[in-house]
Every structure is written in structure tokens, then in C-alpha cells.
Amino acid sequence: MSVSPDTNHGARTAAAVEFDGTWYRLRAASVSELLLDPQWRDRATTAAGRTEPLPHPEFATVVPSPGKIFCCGLNYSEHIRETGRAIPEYPTLFAKFADTLCGPEADILLTGDSTRVDWEAELAVVIGATIYRGDEAEASRAIAGYTVANDVSMRDWQHRTLQWLQGKAFDASTPLGPVLVTADAVDPAAGLDITCQVNGVTVQHGNTATLVFSAAALVSYISQFSTLRPGDVVLTGTPGGVGMAMQPPQFLTEGDVLTTTIEGIGTMTNRIRIAEPARV
Amino acid sequence: MSVSPDTNHGARTAAAVEFDGTWYRLRAASVSELLLDPQWRDRATTAAGRTEPLPHPEFATVVPSPGKIFCCGLNYSEHIRETGRAIPEYPTLFAKFADTLCGPEADILLTGDSTRVDWEAELAVVIGATIYRGDEAEASRAIAGYTVANDVSMRDWQHRTLQWLQGKAFDASTPLGPVLVTADAVDPAAGLDITCQVNGVTVQHGNTATLVFSAAALVSYISQFSTLRPGDVVLTGTPGGVGMAMQPPQFLTEGDVLTTTIEGIGTMTNRIRIAEPARV
């Protein structure tokens, strides 16, 4: 099952579900709101939950209002090996905010004078049930499903200090979508191709089977210290091929088109726009 | 003016204001809710906004639901000098979540098998108006006021990886309160003593006049990439005297009482409790 918000209702959004190739509006303003209902699966999968069909849905940020977004750093074994590092014992975690997200077709409007804007295609996990101090089996059950993210990173800001947050939390810089594919319909551990293209040229190509910390392992680990709730998001890290590691380094500039795809989930297409200079 | 939530209404909280030594209930469930009203100052300061007096207020987390909590690392010049480092060009920033906060009199119940639980007394800034890409003058006007925080840190988790978040974001580990003193009533740049005591022994003693990045400078800097909104919180860093820097290092254990005070704002008293072991 795939669920997604659409923006086909004026300025408002609605949650929607795809069924036999057609999208249907659900009675919730967003997937975030839908997931707050413990009966969200039933609401999305029964004919009674669906309202009118949406012939031309536009896709908004798949979960617009997570209370928590955890992101994992280096997490693809192929990429770790190519950098010569050891497989880590613990996941490297940092945060984003709800305001950091944007839609899967949105322009990414960048402020802050960054000249080192980089891409990071990532599998994103969406939480469907509250979990605190759960083991991996409980974590698996707490996962609503999966979507696509691009952890667009301002490397200059990221490396101004030892803590990455300021290069990772620019408003509306992390596209998330286009749809949430529920955990019964897709299994990242079995291996999903993940790719990132810049202006049609493939720059990243990995597979989720090589994640060091699986989706369930990350959710369980985080839940040891922090409660995860419906609509929260965990980004699972990016495979090799980021721009700063290229020789010479390559970064995104005005007008570049970023295409992020995960097999069995979908594709996001985002254009980079550079805003006027920062004021301080 | 001081405003604060109190828990004197059964399980619910209410915003309250102190006036001539008496606390009065306001028509808002929390200070977070109060600050969403652009007229919050009028509501808090006019007799029409105040309802019944509260003879025995209990103080809850002063803003319970910030959408963003930014924290600044090393930010006291005396402390930086004693570590032999250079004054930084940019603030080191990391995040917490609303769930990370707890009340100024709450027990701090720690999970996760940490054996290196440390203290960090901090001045906290509460945002009172939306700001995006503002200069320092605009940032000053966007500050509702100040409160006290203790950025209780699990040093073992903090240093498992290069990113500090996992040692800084344990649920209900960061007390915030007891009151919000509005910016017209207190000026950290003029110098406020800040102290931390463990079981009555002073372990940290600094002064907010020695902050490298002032409250307004931090708010302006963060706003260059991230919108700050009413009720958001910025923690400004801790002075010297943390436990991990002692010879030998000293950490908090079951039953320890942590007392955090900022001159002109107030005192928080929190008891440390250690929960059962982690499950993974």
C-alpha cells in the first residue's frame, strides 16, 4: 500500500492512498495526521476510508510534521570500505526539524551563501506506532513504511564546527517523498537499489541490502533513549558517490536537477535554486 | 515580568504570571501556547488577562512544546581559555527535541546504562516572535525572555560517535525553568551569575557576560538557515566545571541532587534517578 499527501485541494493537502492504480483521498489532512490514528491501516485500506478518486495528484512532503527526525551518518558498508574506515559499532546520529523538509517535486531554495551544496540519497523510515526501549522485533512492528529522502547538505556550514547540524538543517532543504510504501509491501533488507542523479547523470548507486544498521536496528537503538512516535522519521544514511568525495569535488548550483530514486518506492525530482546572499 | 506554567490544576498545566509577588493564572494551557498569540505581552501584563491567583504554584517545563531546540557548545570565554582553545569563529550547534525537556523540579530518570552522566548549567533563550534571516537587532526583538536549563549529558553515549546528539537527547533529561523572565526585565549581556551545585557543592560558577556568542548573536546566526518561531528554545552553552573535566572525573549517580541557578531568573532542583538497564 502507498499513502501520500497530495496538494490537489487548493492550498490544503490531504492524505491519499493508491489502490489498483488510482489515488483516493482519505479523511486526513496529511499522512502525519493519518498515522496518529492507531487504526490508520484500516482507514487507508478499506473502501469505507477512501473518498473521491484524485485523477491528477500532486505530491507534498510525505509526512510534513514529524516531532523528531533522526539521521544516521555513514551506514553503507561499501561506502565505508571505500573510505578505509572500520565498520562502526554505533550509529552516528544527528537531527533535522520538520521545517527542514520539503516536497518531492519542490524547488530547493538555498540561502546562507553556501558554495558546497551536496547530495545524499537516502532511504527514510516512517514510524507508525509509539516505541520506547524496544528490541528489533518491536521496532519492525513500529515501522509504518518507507519513503525516499535526499539529505541535501551544505558542506561548508556542516564543517564550520565539529557538529554537522547547521549544514543539515537549512529550512526546506530535505525533500521527502513521493509516497510512503507500507512495510508489508517493501523490504529494504532484501535489497532495494537507491540512486541519485544530477542533471540526468548517475552520481550515487547503492543498495539497501548493504546498510550496516538496518531500519529496525536504527529504530530500536534510538528508542533506547528517545521515544519515537507515529509520523517521526529516521533517515538511514547515504551510499558512496557524494560530491565532496569526487576528484575534483562537485557541488550543486542554480538550476541543477536532483533526481532521487529507490526501487519499489519512487522518484523525487527537485531543482536547486540559490537565494540572495545571507545578511550576516 | 515572569511567566510560567504551573501544574496546580489536576493533571493539566496553565500559563501563569507573577505580579507583585503573587502568581495569577492566564488563559493558556502553557507558555508555549501563550507565546503563539502575538499579543502575549498584553495578555500577560494587563489585569484583564489574569484570572484567579495561584497561592501554591508548582512549576512545569517552562515551554513544553518547542518545535526546535538549538544548543550551542563551547561558548564561555573563560572556559575556552582554560582548555587552551582559540575563540571559535562560528557557534557549535546541536539539537534536542521537545521530549528531551523536563520540569524544573522533576526527577531526571535516566535509562540507557550510562555511567557518565554529567551536568551543564545553561542560560536558555525563549523565542517570542518568528524570525528568519534576521540581524542582531531583529534577533533581540524576537527574544521573549530567558530561563534556566541544565543540559544533562550522557558522556559515554555522547562520545560513542563524533556527533553528540545521542548523549544529549535522552527523553526528559534536560530540565527547563522554573520561569521565563521577559527580556525587558533581565539582560544576560550585562552579566548574570550562573551556578550548578551537586548535593549542595558548587561545581560550576560562571557569568553570562563572558558568553562568546550572545543570545542575540546566536538567534541571528541560527535564523540565517532556520526559521525560529514562538516557543522555540536556544541553549547558550555551559561555563567551566563539568564533571568529565575534573581530576578524577566526577559523574552523577542515583539520588544526587542537581541545583541550577541563574541570578535574576531562578533555581531548578532535580534529583537523578537511574532506571533499569537498557534492553539492547
Looking at residue B27, what is its pLDDT?
92
Of B166, B224, B279, Cβ closest to residue A111: B224
Interface of B with A in 43-62 (CB under 8 A): none
For the stretch A1-52, pLDDT in tens is 777 776 544 558 999 999 989 999 999 999 999 999 999 999 988 877 788 8
Q: Is B213 on the interface with A (CB under 8 A)?
A: no
Q: Is B171 on the interface with A (CB under 8 A)?
A: yes
For the stretch B8-36, pLDDT in tens is 445 589 999 999 899 999 999 999 999 99
| Beta bridge partner(s), residue B95 | B70
More confident residue, B51 or B268: B268
User: If you average pLDDT over residues A222-246, what whole number do you get?
Assistant: 96
Looking at residue A67, what is its pLDDT?
97
Looking at residue B8, what is its pLDDT?
45
CA distance B130 to chain A (A): 13
Helix (H) or strand (E) run with residue A117 in it: strand A117-118
Q: Residue A154 pLDDT > 90, yes or no?
A: yes
Q: Nearest residue of B to residue A133 by CA position?
A: B279
Q: Is A19 on the interface with B (CB under 8 A)?
A: no
Q: Is B276 on the interface with A (CB under 8 A)?
A: no
For the stretch B203-225, pLDDT in tens is 999 999 999 999 999 999 999 99
Q: Residue B43 pLDDT > 80, yes or no?
A: yes
* A111 contacts on B by Cβ (under 8 Å): 133, 224-225
Of B91, B111, B135, Cβ closest to residue A225: B111
CA distance A263 to chain B (A): 30
Q: Is A170 on the interface with B (CB under 8 A)?
A: yes
* Cross-chain Cβ contact B224/A164 below 8 Å: no
* Cross-chain Cβ contact A67/B227 below 8 Å: no
Of A94, A97, A133, Cβ closest to residue B67: A97
Q: Residue B113 pLDDT > 90, yes or no?
A: no
For the stretch A112-126, pLDDT in tens is 789 999 999 999 999
Of B99, B221, B225, Cβ closest to residue A169: B225
CA distance A165 to chain B (A): 6
* A162 contacts on B by Cβ (under 8 Å): 73, 92, 162
Mean pLDDT of chain B: 92
Contact A31, A62 (CB under 8 A): yes
The number of helix segments (H) and strand segments (E) in chain A equals 7, 18
Looking at residue B47, what is its pLDDT?
78
Q: Is A87 on the interface with B (CB under 8 A)?
A: no
Looking at residue B264, what is its pLDDT?
97
* Cross-chain Cβ contact B97/A136 below 8 Å: no
CA distance B38 to chain A (A): 21
CA distance A216 to chain B (A): 12
CA distance B79 to chain A (A): 17
Looking at residue B45, what is its pLDDT?
85
Of B89, B135, B157, Cβ closest to residue A225: B157
3-state secondary structure chain B: CEEEEEEEECCEEEEEEEECCEEEEECCCCHHHHHCCCCHHHHHHCHHHEEEEECCCCECCCCCCCCCEEEECCCEHHHHHHCCCCCCCCCCEEEECHHHEECCCCCEEECCCCCCEECCEEEEEEECCCECCCCHHHHHHHEEEEEEEECCEEHHHHCCCCCCHHHHCCCCCEEEEEEEEECCCCCHHHCCEEEEEECCEEEEEEEHHHECCCHHHHHHHHHCCCCECCCCEEECCCCCCCHHHCCCCCCCCCCCEEEEEECCCEEEEEEEEECCCCCC
Q: Is B36 on the interface with A (CB under 8 A)?
A: no
* Cross-chain Cβ contact A225/B170 below 8 Å: yes
Return the residue matching grid coordinates 551563501.
A113
User: If you average pLDDT over residues A253-275, what whole number do you get?
Assistant: 95
* B97 contacts on A by Cβ (under 8 Å): 67-68, 95, 226
The 3-state DSSP class for residue A181 equals strand
Q: Nearest residue of B to residue A71 by CA position?
A: B165
User: If you average pLDDT over residues A255-261, what whole number do you get?
Assistant: 97
* A280 contacts on B by Cβ (under 8 Å): 135-136, 220-221, 224
CA distance B139 to chain A (A): 12
Contact A225, B171 (CB under 8 A): yes
Confidence of residue B278 (pLDDT cuts 50, 70, 90): low
Structural domains present in chain A: 2-54 (no CATH), 69-274 (3.90.850.10)
CA distance B219 to chain A (A): 12
Q: Rounded to whole angstroms, how far apart are CA atoms B119 and A96?
A: 25
* B224 contacts on A by Cβ (under 8 Å): 111-112, 278-280
Looking at residue A9, what is its pLDDT?
46
Looking at residue A217, what is its pLDDT?
98
The 3-state DSSP class for residue A53 equals strand
Q: Is A112 on the interface with B (CB under 8 A)?
A: yes
